[in-house]
Amino acid sequence: MTRDISDGEGRFLMTQLSQPSQVTGRTRWLALVFLLLLAACLAEFLTGSTPVTAVFRNPVGFAANVALYGCGSILIREVAIRWRKRWGTILLLGGAYAVGEEGFAAKTMTDPVGSPVGNQLYNHFAGINWVPLSFLTLFHSAFSIAVPLVMLELLFPETKGRPLVGNLGLGIVTFAYGLTVTVLSQWLGNPYVPPVFTTIFLSAYALAFILAAYFVPSSFLRAKKELRDRGEVSFYFLGVGFMGVFFLNFLFGHLLPWPLQAFLFVLLPVLTARYLVNHAGKNGNDIAKICFILGMLSIFILPDISLELGGDVGVIVFTALMLIFALLLRRQILRRNRQAAEGMNKQQVLS
């Protein structure tokens, strides 16, 4: 006898069956450790914000980075999967993450003179450092959060679209991230106290990203064509150009009126995303992703040589290791693509 599943119970059952299965076993734990450590180290080490030796000299500070970047990355990934969304939602949630770290914890977006990026009086207006607000929103969203998540999927393709943690794990990473932001904001971080209006504005700014991430369609920022129509080199230089223009604007943009500098930080991801959407392709785009990341990483070579000479011991080694790792990922992707093509050819022969 066939059961009618048009009732509420049936709909619930079908919804449960349609949920992606959670990654289990050894792969799950390897993926979680990989994401926690890569997210905590990548942006902080490459930019010199945290010295490489701080892992040993300041383990408490490094643990705070793990709780911020690592738990933040897991939280964003798991929420996007539960909402059945992809990179558009991840990038928007990355913008909200940036507010938590740089708006509340480090206060880079509000402190006009004592923030990690130095004197910001030239663009400080209505309690907000508008240039750091724009460039740190972009940097954390597109680099600190997105790059580790892309690398996770490329290294562990079986995790794509599948949760790494259950509800309890999601609650733990949410608590760890929120507690770290609160402790740094109120007690152990920058002592600057922003005006109440500034706190309200930043909260609304972060909420706007979260709401946009929830309501944006799953097709947002999805490639238009089925297959990529540009070679690897073009995506590599797109990454070079994206990160290169980003840092040029950061270093020399103060020579322009600050509203124009802030606008350039907004324009840059729009143009980059447009190219990726038009040319990366829906399927077989892993090679485009890793080449784009390789381009971004390449920009750090010269600055990190300077940091190494200035006393940041080990940073150039870390940079080299990240480039080597990305190149190994590229080789792995090419090997998977060849195996997939060979499998398709065998099926065609047999059929």
Residue 183 has pLDDT above 50, yes or no: yes
Global pTM reads 0.90
Task: Output DSSP code: residue 69.
Answer: I
**265 Cβ neighbours under 8 A, 6+ residues apart:** 131, 134, 135, 137, 138, 246, 249
Q: What is the pLDDT of residue 284?
A: 81
Q: What is the pLDDT of residue 16?
A: 46
Q: What percent of the chain has pLDDT over 90?
A: 79
185-238, pLDDT tens digit by residue?
Answer: 988 888 889 999 999 999 999 999 999 999 999 888 888 888 888 999 999 999
Residue 4 has pLDDT above 50, yes or no: no
For tokens 């299965």, name the residue: 21
Give the total residue count for the chain: 351
CA distances from 96 to 80, 101, 188 (A): 13, 9, 22
33-74, pLDDT tens digit by residue?
Answer: 999 999 999 999 999 999 999 999 999 999 999 999 999 999
Q: What is the pLDDT of residue 311?
A: 92
If one counts every other C-beta atom within 10 angstroms of the C-beta of residue 210, the result is 17
Domain boundaries, the chain: 23-222, 224-351
303-324, pLDDT tens digit by residue?
Answer: 999 999 999 999 999 999 999 9
328-350, pLDDT tens digit by residue?
Answer: 999 999 998 888 777 777 776 66
Q: What is the pLDDT of residue 315?
A: 96
Q: What is the pLDDT of residue 180?
A: 95
Query: What are the backbone dihedrals phi and psi of residue 129, each rounded to the nearest 5 degrees, phi first?
Result: -85, 100
Q: Label residue 30 exposed, middle or buried (CB < 10 Å: 0-12, 13-18, 19+).
A: middle
If one counts every other C-beta atom within 10 angstroms of the C-beta of residue 13, the result is 13
